[in-house]
Structure 1
């Protein structure tokens, strides 16, 4: 008899998308649990229409971890799969989930194993790997942190979990600007991150996510201060059970900071961080430096050849904070071609590329300075 698979959906005011989420996972043999944390819209009414979905209520306590851990305690055994309300599975992915988990059921390290689906953002066209969502409900794995929570093996001293790719795609659309604005995710997350920093100031995770989430509203001094703090934190953060090292989070922070500094047109500070990214072996220093030169300086064919050479190094590009698929570099090459060799040659290359949008580009076309 195959192991039971319980899919847990945390929900609060999700009337926009909860029906789509549930429709994608019903009729596939899953146990489905919706944990509502205080909806005031039609969410619970929509859930109640599904006879095969169990609805429980958990008062919101300023902690996504608390809600997730409550859900874990509500599932006695088998696989537990966390699916956000603004996510859904294709028909193929729902069938594949059962097959993949059946294959993993005999793994030797289930007590500390967490599987990571691919989270595909349909609005941005970006696939995110490494998001920990699936593990055994009877294990000692629990979540830590009020927001951007992460799993640990709970004990006298929390232990880092083992991660492995699940190989199943979850589709997601919660990062759409209108959705984020309606739910005021920015200010909610910053408030919860303040709580995390107050309780655990030496954990580099909270400094990095404060920078990442607050980037749209932070000024240059705040961006630099957060990077400096993260750089100076103790290098050994194993006591937290954190999945990434301090050095890895600092590298992510530098790439994120460059995006904010570029939006602020602070080229001097950006150039300093490009040097740090070069030192750390990141491809992003080249990208931001050349984009700054496109805005302020003189470019040569050597710059174009350097960008093309970098684009061809798929292993290095895959470490990019900006886009591991390298679409930002394609947009850069188009911009360089247009500047150095003319519009027709740029358009020929653009036709081969996927659209890219960031602080410099809108669907592959350079934004006005």
Structure 2
């Protein structure tokens, strides 16, 4: 028997989609509401869930543990309301749950809106075992308890489902801004580091946040500390630390960044998890003029994740530098099919079409790029592009 366990609060817009995705796959649904005022509990009940109520304990881990205590299945699937289960994953997940020594199944999760890392791995499907409990602030996880349990009962196995199982929209830029995730992450990880100095997971999250917000010195220090403390078998943590340390080093120390990206790619991880390092290394090698390896790396990204617009855009830039105009045009068009408002892709496509002799296509492309920049609140860039493009092709023809 498989039970769904969820904690929710004010998720009326998303909850029905989430629960509908597990209908027919789970045998029971337990939803713990922590104080909604938008009809979330009623939606959960209408979808067939058993609804419980809990005053918010101030931390995700005890809330998740409360939900875990309420389920009765042999297996537990944990979702957030902004996630849903892909139907293609049902059969492979059932096959893994039937294996008698499998304790936990890591799930590949597609990250909608993530520009560089469109997949992550989350430990959300596991046997209901008294030794498995949630820990950590903000990004609560069962990994710590599972590691302890494996030390006590080494016959258990942790496996990964090769089929992407979940889709997650929580990292779409507009949702991140609405929910102020960065501020909440900072507060939680600062508290985590105060309780567990040098913790690799907290160093990775807070270090990456510091780098992204311009605090590179502290970010690099945190990432290096986390890397020094991360165990050799902590593959996901080591990858994240290496990736963000390379991002931080790239502006001033490109050679060091290349070495760090290579270390990240050497880790035995699913290729979809390490797409960010592969994509970034390809872009860095493009700037250094190593076009052949840049093309190989970026082409591998488009093979693994053809739905990623940035990969096709970067491939277009590389192919253009290699003098392969038709391939560059094709790559830019793939990027625009996936992200029609990508002004840089539109501008580069127009320039490539001009070089290929397609004057009408170039004219239309420049016009679209200018219109996109204006619509996106970039009038100065639009004027500059109109001036440069107008010197090459008549835009008013």
Question: Fold conserved (TM > 0.5)?
Answer: yes
Matches of 2:207 and 2:346 in 1, distance apart?
26
Decide whether the 8 Å contact of 2:84 with 2:168 is kept in 1.
Answer: yes
- CA pair 108-342 structure 1, distance change in 2 beyond 3 A: closer
Secondary structure at 2:100 match in 1: coil
2:196 pairs, out of 195, 200, 203, with: 200
Residue 237 of structure 2: aligned partner: 249
Name the Cα RMSD after superposition.
3.9
Identify which of structures 1 and 2 has the higher relative contact order when contacts are C-alpha pairs closer than 8 Å and 6+ apart: 1
Structure number having the greater helix percentage? 2
Residue 73 of structure 1: aligned partner: 69
Gaps of 5+ in 2: 267-276, 349-372, 374-380, 382-397
Alignment pair present for 1:272 and 2:256: yes
Secondary structure at 1:268 match in 2: coil
Matches of 2:22 and 2:6 in 1, distance apart?
11
Deviates more, 1:152-161 or 1:326-335: 152-161
Deviation track 1:108-155 (CA, whole Å, cap 9, x = no partner) reads 324xx1112332234448653531111122442122211323224749
Task: Give how far 1:58 is off.
Answer: 2.5
Residue 333 of structure 1: aligned partner: 315
Task: Give how far 1:7 is off.
Answer: 1.0
- CA pair 85-108 structure 1, distance change in 2 beyond 3 A: same
Secondary structure at 2:5 match in 1: strand
Residue 117 of structure 1: aligned partner: 107
Alignment pair present for 1:226 and 2:222: yes
Structure number having the greater strand percentage? 1
Matches of 2:209 and 2:11 in 1, distance apart?
21
Gaps of 5+ in 1: 238-242, 294-298
Query: Residues 1-369 of structure 1: matches in 2 within 5 Å?
Result: 4-26=1-23, 30-50=27-47, 52-90=48-86, 92-93=87-88, 97=90, 99-100=91-92, 102-110=94-102, 113-124=103-114, 128=119, 130-152=121-143, 154=145, 159=150, 162-166=157-161, 167=163, 169-233=165-229, 236=231, 244-245=234-235, 249-259=237-247, 267-278=251-262, 284=278, 286-293=281-288, 299=289, 303-311=290-298, 330-341=312-323, 344-351=326-333
Structure with higher Rg: it is 2
Matches of 1:29 and 1:156 in 2, distance apart?
26
- TM-score where L is the length of structure 2: 0.68
- CA pair 335-174 structure 1, distance change in 2 beyond 3 A: same
Task: Give how far 1:28 is off.
Answer: 5.4
Q: How many residues align?
A: 330
Task: Give how far 1:203 is off.
Answer: 2.4
Task: Give how far 1:312 is off.
Answer: 6.3
Matches of 2:315 and 2:24 in 1, distance apart?
47
